[in-house]
Amino acid sequence: MSRQLIKFATYLVLFVLGLGLTHTLTQEQLLEQNQERTARHATALNDYIHSEFTRFSTIVSFLSSSALVHQALQYDQQDNAVDRYLSDVQRASGASDVYLLNAQGTVVASSNWHLPHSYKGNNFAFRPYFARAMAGETVTDFALGQRSMRRGFYFSKAVDFAENGRGVIVLKVNASKFETDKARLDTGEESHFVLLDANDVVLLSDHPDWQLHATKALSGEAQEQLAQSQQFLGQTINPLGWHWLANDGQIIAEQRRYLVSASTLEGTSYRLLMLSPIVPFNEVHAARLGLAMLLLLLVIALVEYLSVKVAGYRQLLFSQRTLEEQVQERTRELEQAQDALIRATKLATIGQLSASVNHEINQPLSAMSAYVAACKRLLMRSEPEKAMENLQLIEQLIRRVHAIAGQLKSFSQKRPVKMQSISLQQSVQNALLVVGPELNKHHVSVHESGLEVSVWVDPYQFEQVLVNLLSNACHAMEHCQNKWLRLEASSNESKVYLSIIDNGPGIDQHALSTIFEPFYTTKSEHGLGLGLSISKQIIESFQGNLSAHNHRDGGAEFLLSLHQQEPQS
């Protein structure tokens, strides 16, 4: 009974922990998704407003260099040509007004010249955008319209029309244009944005109640500065009462929590805030918690079911592990046997070549003995130069003996498999050091062509294959008069094909299908019949191929197919 209670308590704790973890992960995931979405929307809106500001600034710069605008300031033309020109620019650009001020700040041309509320004759010298433009700046400013009381952005630039002659061209865009255009951007139905100036006053917002309010209470100095600039024409700027959550990128506005993504509008001091509401718990978590409850109950039921079956499986798993260990042990034994066979084949090959190798080594040894005796006589006759020549010849013969002995030692040693890209020609030369004495003994000439390529092999195992094939070819030509071997290589982009061709009697037709089988041999006096079988296995371990057939011109041909570089899996 106590065991059942413990199990029930364990399941209950796991159930509660699972629900708690689901709740936490869901909350974090939704918050992260909301942050990414808010940042993406903020970037899109920032890019849009920046591109529009840049477009209007470019139009103002273009108008400041217009000859027609220069003439209007210089000659005070009265035929309304400039007015109509500015009216065309206003309609084409989407601006609300375009007008030209003289050096005193009086409007001399305006796009609304034909309307009752035309700006012509009005003086806007009190506006900061006029003074700053006269000082040489390209200005982007915000203010309330003196007549319309509408919020707008003013883009202004000085017009230099003659020596020391200067006016100002101004383009006004209603703030509502950006707020209505925002509705066409994919920023979410419940998200909002605000564009703040340096005093944190809301210049733009798609939330009407936030417009011309400050996100925090303005200081007395800031209020005095705004009153002097007449930017808001005396309108009181009240705080919104937002509460910023410390170090969390969130605010509480109108009793609702928002995620905030803030960025600065390039080229201005304005800050753009994108506000995205945080989804309430009951709207999102309930479905996921319900699904989590169902999954947890299913998991508990599955665990309970498996716990009943686990006792029987333990014995099965134990038996499986025991069997796997036995298979691994047998595999190791087979690998050891394979290594022993390869080593035996190497030693058998060396044994077959021993007489020729002895002859190849005895020749330089006999020559060295003769040169040593000659050196003694030359030194006794005080002829050191000739003695030195004999010593140099002795040194060459010693190097030759060392090379033969070293290659035999390298050939016979057991080495770990190490695949690498090596020179085919160098491998052939190393193999010829081992089998060369046998070839010389039987007067076999060797012809090579196309060996200047690389192959992807284990160099020591590959040289064993070459020694075996060359030795077999030498024995096959034992009763031929004129004996020769051809080693020809060709390649494409990824593979190398090496042909070893002899002029012996060829391979019996019935033996072509069994020549690579273990213990097959045509050498009645020596050989285990494992050389070709092991050679084929070695080449296939390189992901290559070894095949044999009779050459069309007579004799046998063994064809090796190898990779130039490490093959892709």
Half-sphere exposure of 426 (CA within 13 A, CB side): 9
Q: What pLDDT is stored for residue 559 in this prediction?
A: 95
* Under 8 Å between Cβ of 172 and 152: yes
CATH class for the domain made up of 356-563: alpha beta
Query: What is the C-alpha to C-alpha distance for residues 533 and 72, in angstroms, rounded to an integer?
Result: 102
Q: What pLDDT is stored for residue 407 in this prediction?
A: 53
For the chain, what is the total number of helices (H) and then of strands (E)?
11, 18
Taking Cα atoms as reference points, which of 426, 431, 458, 428 lies closest to residue 541? 458
Residue length of the chain: 569
| Torsions phi, psi for 310 (to 5 deg) | -65, -30
Write out pLDDT tens, residues 386-412.
Answer: 778 777 777 766 766 666 666 556 555
Write out pLDDT tens, residues 15-65.
Answer: 788 777 877 777 777 778 778 888 888 888 899 889 999 999 999 999 999
Q: What is the mean pLDDT of residues 487-512?
A: 90
Write out pLDDT tens, residues 99-139.
Answer: 999 999 999 999 999 898 889 989 999 999 999 999 999 99
What is the β-pairing status of strands 483-491 and 444-449?
parallel
Q: What pLDDT is stored for residue 457 in this prediction?
A: 92
Q: Where are the domains of the chain?
A: 356-563
DSSP state of 123: B
Q: What pLDDT is stored for residue 158 in this prediction?
A: 94
- Tokens (6 digits) for 90: 């206003």
Taking Cα atoms as reference points, which of 169, 144, 207 lies closest to residue 57? 169
Write out pLDDT tens, residues 171-193.
Answer: 999 988 888 776 556 556 678 89
Long-range contacts of 240-245 (CB under 8 A, 24+ apart): 240/202, 240/210, 240/213, 240/214, 240/215, 242/215, 242/216
CB within 8 A of 253, min separation 6: which ones? 240, 242, 243, 275
Query: What is the C-alpha to C-alpha distance for residues 173 and 129, in angstroms, rounded to an integer?
Result: 14
* pLDDT > 90 fraction of the chain, expressed in percent and rounded: 28
